[in-house]
Amino acid sequence: MSGNFLDVGVSGLLTTQAAINTVSHNIANANTEGYSRQVTEIDARSPQFTGGNFIGTGAELGAIKRIFDIATTLELRSNLSNSSQLEVYLEQASRVDNLIADASTGLSGALQNFFSAVQGVADDPSSIAARQVLVSQGDLLATRFNNLVEQLDAQTRALNTGVRSAAEEITALGKSIAELNVKIAAASGGGQGQPNDLLDQRDRMINKLAELVDITTLQQDDGSINVFVGKGQALVVGATANSIIARPKTNDPKNMEIVLQAGPGSVVITESLSGGKLGGFLRFRSEILEPAFNVIGRVALGVAEQLNQQHQLGMDLNNNLGQLFYTDINDPALMSRRVVNDSGNTGTADIAIQIDDTSLLNDANYDLRFQAGNYVLTNLSTGGVVASFPPPGAVPATISIPSEGFSVVINSGAAAAGDRFGVFPTRSFGADISMQISNPNYIAAALPVNAQMSSSNTGSGAISGVSVTDTTTPQFTNVPNDLDPPIIFEFTSPTTFNVVDANTLAVITGPVGGFVPDQENNMLALAGLNYGYEVTLSGAPATGDTFNVSYNNNGVGDNRNMLLLGDLQQANALDNGTSNFQQAFGRLVGDVGTRTQEAKINEKAAESLLNQVKDRRESISGVNLDEEAAKLIKFEQAYQASAQVIQVARTIFQTIIDSTR
Amino acid sequence: MRISSNQLSTSGLREIINRQAELREIQLKMATQKRFLTPSDDPVAATSVLNLETEISLFEQYNRNIDLAKGANELEEGVLNSVTNTLFRVKELLVGLGNGVYGQNELEAIKIEIEERLNEMVGYANTQSANGDYLFSGFKTKVQPFVQDASGNIVYQGDQGERSIRITTSTLVGVSDSGFEVFEDVFDGNKKFVVSADATNTGTGSITIGSYQAPPAVLAEPYDIQFLGPNSYQVVGVNSAAVIVPPTPFASGDTISFNGITVSVDGTPAAGDNFYVDPSSRQSIFNTLKDAIAMVDNFVDTPQGRAIYTTQLDVALANFDNAFEKIDQVRARVGTRLNAIESGRDSNEQLIFTSKGLLSKLKDLDVVEAASELTRQTTVLEAAQASFVRVQNLNIFNFLR
């Protein structure tokens, strides 16, 4: 009977000790990340039935529980994924945002300076100094394109490193979670107590995983948790963990793809991944980085095509026809570089892309696949099939894809069923463009054709214009620095004329009718001659009047071609004839800016959501030192009281012992 | 709501960091004087800024073109002014040649000055700009436009190219006129036909330069006015040999009209004298003066010689007036171009002004607003920091001693 309350006192001591221990554990872990505060549950022992009454027998330790809310934990995970995805996206996007709009790295300033230099030559076509400025500015413009691509390339490399390390981290975390699963399953075997700190540790791992990629989890009966990534691909199942591997894409080695390796089997899951750091990298790559490469490449293609075309219609200071100003957009090596053979291809097809019309190009990459006996070309931005064609009867063959502005050229060989080709029409030209002219004399400021009225003319007919459309005709190429032949328009009546070879004086064609006095008349078109140039005559020529058309030798003061080159600054040469160079590039700046701004706003929102959930979790599971202090005081007092009980028991025993002396 | 100790410090710290970020942004804006720091701060404005900056630089380039165009046209105007001054003097000299009392010696003296003036004119026509380009050789700016050929004629070496440059988005303005246009593209006589007297005429008849009536009458082949005697003439087509005007009685001063041509003959022609009417052709001012010089050289002081001289001088004066008129036309055109250049500059300046205003609105920071924002943010940060320290010090453990 009396031994009983000593026992009660001891039970109080023991349970209070455990409670003080838990409080100390809480205080010790007050700043531990992901720690859930623990509470000691103390129960009353079963009473003893003695003499018709239930007599209390003291306290016993119920359980040490962590305070934890599953809904908040899941919410925290999805917010972690979302927030870290936006954080990575924003960080990467801001770099591009700064790069393309900056005056010293963007394109706008270089375009302005280049066209100012064109105007400079137009103002004074025979000035070597002005021409030298144009050569330098032309070179700078090309270099600016190159530098932009270089910067984006560097960012791609950094991104690939980020993707690879994220994949490695995911794999490592998966392994740790699987190991913890084993420990937790073993520890949860008996009793009602839980391995609280192991559970916290696993939750922390899963949260870290969520920061890397969006995941879903499934709690098992034995306490282990299965983790899935993407669209239900298992990363951790019980004690088993699979690997996530980043490797170069087979049809685009510049970029990484993500593979889930489960035992011997592997599956590409790049497209199904979202969220987290990895999701942020991948989204940035497809929304900003790839389009940026392509827009810059496309503007470079437009600049090169337009300038080359116009420059080649001109005549330089040495009386030669204009040469290429920039890299030929359809140089065979460049054409081949626009297509990547998938490393798994078994066929022999050698395929290239020829740019036909830069104004029709868009910013997409394409996938060309040989399947069911046909080549199928798919736009990777829209996912739509843009063309499907059977293999050509004979190679080399050029298959025009008019809607996309380019042609597929099959140089040699044939594709095998299932062969794939990555098609990147615009991506690389920003890096490839370079100035082809280094000698200022080679700037073609003049037009190669000059037309004069004869001074013996008596009518009012006058040359109102000369235009050059093609300098590859025999009339230009047969004889260097001359027309073959120079021609004379000789009027046989006020409305008819002969076209005469100025060298032999033989009539080439005529009399040609249809000349309308006092109106613009395109003479070569009237005569049905396609010489690559056109002479426009107005006024009313008299019978016998002649007009001489000859090569513009020594026309060093002629700036007509420079004026035409200058007009290209304002010409809507891109985006289906709706944008000039500056506007096409400006749209990239706008697009990237808008996406970055969006990311900024979303990131702020996601961060504030994340903070709210973190606060909620802290509010539930976090340690409050004041609370723990209060508990400490409370349990200290309880401990002292239990000790007092033992003291009382000792005194009582002493009293009894003393009375028997 | 329950609050964890950790939460108390992290959320406090978070707010302080947020305030610092805002403060930094404001500070950067103040330092750069920009309303936004990256395109993502305001993507729409950023795109507009790029386009506006391009536009402004384009208009500024046009204004540089305008400076050049103005310089070129003013240079041409200056040269044409000198040419005109010379022509005024030449006109006096030519009128002097018509003074009936002057004999061979006086005429010779005038001729020598005309020769000098001719050289002066050729000099003007061969003017070079500061960088060595010839002003009047068309596109062939390195080729001297006017040179004397073996037979002593001043011939044009340039072409008919006329350079223009862009001064506004929609306007090209000429910056050169070819030598052909300025000095050569001049029809002789009355610009429809030119008269001449046969050098072997024995009478004292001289012919006026005449006038031309509008169609239906058509001037065509050269015509020969043949005097059958002092009182009778006929007109024959030179190519067709057809008799256009049958023999007609004649008295001094009578007008002779046919095929739109009206001329009159003064004095007393002799039988067998011929006067010719040829369709006008182009003759340069230089060759007109050359003709005048040759005319004095060939002058014979007899009544017959004087008659021929009179006809030649009339034609020379007409030719000279035509050339003078042409140069006046070109000068007027240069003047018009200078006006166009000035109004082009006005329009460019207007556009630059508007664009710059717009650009400033989009790009420039409202400094007053930013400064007050800076002050506000500073106060907020200070408050956050002070309260953080106060809150962190509150803890029961502080009292458990």
Mutate: best of B25, B159, B221, partner A, most A CBs <10 A: B159
The separation between CA A380 and the C-alpha centre of its own chain, rounded to angstroms, equals: 13
Question: For residue A602, what pLDDT is reported?
Answer: 93
Reported residue count of chain B is 401
At residue B170, what are phi and psi to the nearest 5 degrees? -110, -5
What does the pLDDT look like over B105-120, one tens digit per residue? 889 999 999 999 999 9
My answer on whether omega of the bond before A485 falls inside 30° of 0, hence cis, is: yes
Nearest to B68 among A100, A112, A123 (CB): A123
Of A41 and A105, which is predicted with more confidence? A41
Question: For residue B151, what pLDDT is reported?
Answer: 84
Alpha helices by DSSP H, listed for A421-547, are 429-432, 474-477, 523-527
Reported residue count of chain A is 661
Residue A267 pairs in a beta bridge with A260
What does the pLDDT look like over B192-204, one tens digit per residue? 889 999 888 888 8
Whose CA is closest to A251, among A345, A381, A349? A345
Residue A124 has pLDDT above 60, yes or no: yes
Nearest to A570 among B1, B40, B169 (CB): B169
Of A4 and A650, which is predicted with more confidence? A650
Interface contact A582-B137, CB threshold 8 A: no
Q: Angle at Cα B308 formed by Cα B303 and Cα B309, nearest 5°?
A: 90
| Distance from the A604 Cα atom to the nearest Cα atom in chain B, whole angstroms | 11
Interface contact A589-B139, CB threshold 8 A: no
Q: 3-state DSSP call for residue A309?
A: helix
Q: In chain A, pLDDT over 90 holds for what percent of residues?
A: 77
* Partners of residue B142 in chain A, C-beta under 8 Å: 126, 554, 556-557
My answer on whether omega of the bond before A448 falls inside 30° of 0, hence cis, is: no
Interface contact B47-A98, CB threshold 8 A: no
- Strand blocks (E) in A34-188: 38-44, 48-50, 53-55, 59-66
B21 Cβ under 8 Å from any chain A Cβ: no
Determine contact, residues A72/A613, Cβ cutoff 8 Å: yes
Neighbouring CB atoms inside 10 A of A548's CB total 19
B113 Cβ under 8 Å from any chain A Cβ: no
Interface contact A558-B282, CB threshold 8 A: no
* Partners of residue A592 in chain B, C-beta under 8 Å: 39-40
Q: 3-state DSSP call for residue B15?
A: helix
Record the tokens describing residue A592, joined without a space: 């990237």
Closest-approach residue (CA) in chain A for B170: A567
* Partners of residue B185 in chain A, C-beta under 8 Å: 455
Residue A568 has pLDDT above 90, yes or no: yes
* Partners of residue B53 in chain A, C-beta under 8 Å: 108, 112
What's the Rg (C-alpha) of chain A?
Answer: 41
Residue range B13-21: mean pLDDT, rounded? 91
Record the tokens describing residue B57, joined without a space: 């630089």
Confidence of residue B216 (pLDDT cuts 50, 70, 90): low
Q: In chain B, pLDDT over 90 holds for what percent of residues?
A: 52
Question: For residue A466, what pLDDT is reported?
Answer: 93
What does the pLDDT look like over A488-512, one tens digit per residue? 999 999 999 999 999 999 999 989 9
Residue B103 has pLDDT above 60, yes or no: yes
Q: Tell me the HSE value of B74 on the side-chain side, using a 13 A CA sphere.
A: 8
List strands edge to edge, sheet with A225-229: A215-219, A225-229, A233-237, A240-241
Tell me the CA distances in angstroms from A38 to A11, A67, A204, B84, B191, one per residue in order: 21, 6, 16, 109, 116
CA pair distance A322, A564, nearest whole angstrom: 13
Closest-approach residue (CA) in chain B for A116: B61
Chain B window 277-306: which residues touch A at a Cβ cutoff of 8 Å? Answer: 279-282
Q: Tell me the HSE value of B44 on the side-chain side, using a 13 A CA sphere.
A: 0
Question: For residue A192, what pLDDT is reported?
Answer: 62
* Partners of residue A101 in chain B, C-beta under 8 Å: 38-39, 46, 50
Question: For residue A200, what pLDDT is reported?
Answer: 93
Number of helices (H), then strands (E), belonging to chain A: the values are: 14, 27
Determine contact, residues A577/A460, Cβ cutoff 8 Å: no
Question: Which residue is listed with tokens 């204009």?
Answer: A322
Arithmetic mean of pLDDT over chain A: 91
CA pair distance B54, A253, nearest whole angstrom: 38
CA pair distance A425, A416, nearest whole angstrom: 23
Residue A318 has pLDDT above 90, yes or no: yes
Record the tokens describing residue A132, joined without a space: 């030298």
| Distance from the B57 Cα atom to the nearest Cα atom in chain A, whole angstroms | 7
Q: In chain A, pLDDT over 70 holds for what percent of residues?
A: 99
Round to the nearest angstrom and report the end-to-end CA distance of chain B. Answer: 28
* Partners of residue A455 in chain B, C-beta under 8 Å: 156, 180, 184-185, 282
List strands edge to edge, sheet with A350-355: A350-355, A406-412, A397-401
Mutate: best of B32, B34, B47, partner A, most A CBs <10 A: B47
Whose CA is closest to A156, among A92, A249, A246? A92
Whose CA is closest to A215, among A195, A196, A242? A242
Neighbouring CB atoms inside 10 A of A70's CB total 8
* Partners of residue B166 in chain A, C-beta under 8 Å: 119, 122, 563, 566-567
| CA dihedral of residues A599, A601, A604, A607 (deg, nearest 10) | -50
Residue B249 pairs in a beta bridge with B232
- Return the number of CB contacts < 8 Å for A and B: 193
What does the pLDDT look like over A618-657, one tens digit per residue? 999 999 998 999 999 999 999 999 999 999 988 988 998 9
What does the pLDDT look like over B345-363, one tens digit per residue? 999 999 999 999 999 999 8
CA pair distance A406, A648, nearest whole angstrom: 101
| Distance from the B61 Cα atom to the nearest Cα atom in chain A, whole angstroms | 6
Q: Ranked by mean pLDDT, which of A454-463, B136-145, B211-220 comes out on top?
A: B136-145
Question: Which residue is listed with tokens 């061979």?
Answer: B104
Confidence of residue B224 (pLDDT cuts 50, 70, 90): very high
My answer on whether omega of the bond before A396 falls inside 30° of 0, hence cis, is: yes
* Partners of residue B139 in chain A, C-beta under 8 Å: 446, 450, 552, 554-558
Quick one: angle between helices A128-187 and A276-284, nearest 10?
160
Residue A574 pairs in a beta bridge with A579
Residue A1 has pLDDT above 80, yes or no: no
Residue range B87-97: mean pLDDT, rounded? 92
CA pair distance B312, B293, nearest whole angstrom: 11
CA pair distance A245, A211, nearest whole angstrom: 17
Mutate: best of B10, B15, B38, B49, partner A, most A CBs <10 A: B38
Neighbouring CB atoms inside 10 A of B93's CB total 18
What does the pLDDT look like over A353-410, one tens digit per residue? 999 999 999 999 999 999 999 999 999 989 999 999 999 988 899 999 999 999 999 9
Arithmetic mean of pLDDT over chain B: 89
My answer on whether omega of the bond before B216 falls inside 30° of 0, hence cis, is: yes
Interface contact B160-A452, CB threshold 8 A: yes
| Distance from the B72 Cα atom to the nearest Cα atom in chain A, whole angstroms | 10
CA pair distance A527, A516, nearest whole angstrom: 13
Determine contact, residues A97/A617, Cβ cutoff 8 Å: no
Nearest to A624 among B2, B133, B282 (CB): B2
Interface contact A559-B165, CB threshold 8 A: yes
What does the pLDDT look like over A41-66, one tens digit per residue? 999 988 888 888 888 888 998 889 99
Record the tokens describing residue A639, joined without a space: 């401990």
CA pair distance B119, B137, nearest whole angstrom: 18
The pTM is what? Answer: 0.86
At residue A311, what are phi and psi to the nearest 5 degrees? -65, -35
Quick one: angle between helices A128-187 and A290-312, nearest 10?
160
